Amino acid sequence: MIFNFFATREETYELWDRIAELPGVRLLEADSRPGKENREFDGFPLTEWQAQDRNFSVVAWASRAGGQPRLRNVTFSAETMKELGAAGRSSLTSPAFIRINRVSAPADDFVGPSELVYWTENLAVRSRKFDADQIQEVDWKELGREVTAIKRQITTQSAATWRGAPVSKKVAESLSAGKSQLWLWGATGTI
């Protein structure tokens, strides 16, 4: 599922830190660096995320919901091995992962949405990305409570909504000053 909201980069980083403070939530590197192991973080690794030019995959695992992450090894092609100096990387997967993606708007004067991305049991089954036993390990009600807590944090920090998506206070200030417009997959506007 995708829950859209509008926030500045700084507000999104702050949200990651608040998510990390939720009981049982662990921030993990979903896709490791070439030749390295996946890491766990105490808070959102902003400096590393910026250094990786956004090719850095952090997920929140709601460990109280189960769905123990599975490790998958990815082997690089001979050309990529030579280029990166590593044989591959590892990838963690779980239907209990929660992500926040930032979507780039088509122009600088538009604010694109952020997306809170999570799985429901039905979507996880239909996606065929997970083994049946991994899906059965998830306490879907607990995962739903975790997602609801995060959504509540987003909505209580917002100043308005646009097309059903919460708009943060800093984004609302920018809109009021006439500095930008909202963009959501082709639709544009303001609050």
Q: Does residue 66 fall inside a structural domain?
A: yes
DSSP state of 131: -
Supply 90's token pair: 């590892």
Cβ neighbors of 113 (< 8 A, separation 6 or more) are 4, 5, 6, 103, 165, 182, 183, 184
Which regions in the chain score pLDDT beneath 50? none
Domain of 58 in residue numbering reads as: 2-157
Q: Does residue 179 fall inside a structural domain?
A: no
Q: Does residue 187 fall inside a structural domain?
A: no
Q: Does residue 13 fall inside a structural domain?
A: yes
Q: Does residue 162 fall inside a structural domain?
A: no
Per the structure, the count of domains in the chain is: 1
Look at residues 64, 88, 30, 67 and name the one whose alpha carbon lies nearest to residue 149.
64
- Distance (Å, whole) CA 23 – CA 26: 9
Which pLDDT score, from 0 to 100, does residue 113 have? 93
Which pLDDT score, from 0 to 100, does residue 52 have? 61
Q: Does residue 53 fall inside a structural domain?
A: yes
> Are residues 182 and 8 in contact, defined by beta-carbon separation less than 8 angstroms?
no
- C-alpha distances in Å from residue 123, one per residue of 66, 91, 113, 114, 140: 17, 20, 22, 20, 12
Task: Report how far Cα 101 is from the mean position of its chain's Cα atoms.
Answer: 5
Look at residues 148, 124, 151 and name the one whose alpha carbon lies nearest to residue 136.
124
Dihedral angle computed from the Cα positions of residues 39, 124, 161 and 58, in that order, rounded to the nearest 10 degrees = 10
- C-alpha distances in Å from residue 22, one per residue of 7, 42, 128, 130, 155: 20, 11, 29, 25, 17
Q: Does residue 185 fall inside a structural domain?
A: no
Q: Does residue 169 fall inside a structural domain?
A: no
Cβ neighbors of 158 (< 8 A, separation 6 or more) are 5, 166, 167, 168, 169, 172
- C-alpha distances in Å from residue 13, one per residue of 44, 105, 118, 150: 7, 18, 18, 13
Look at residues 52, 188, 174, 191 and name the one whose alpha carbon lies nearest to residue 107.
188
Neighbour tally for 184: CB within 10 Å? 19
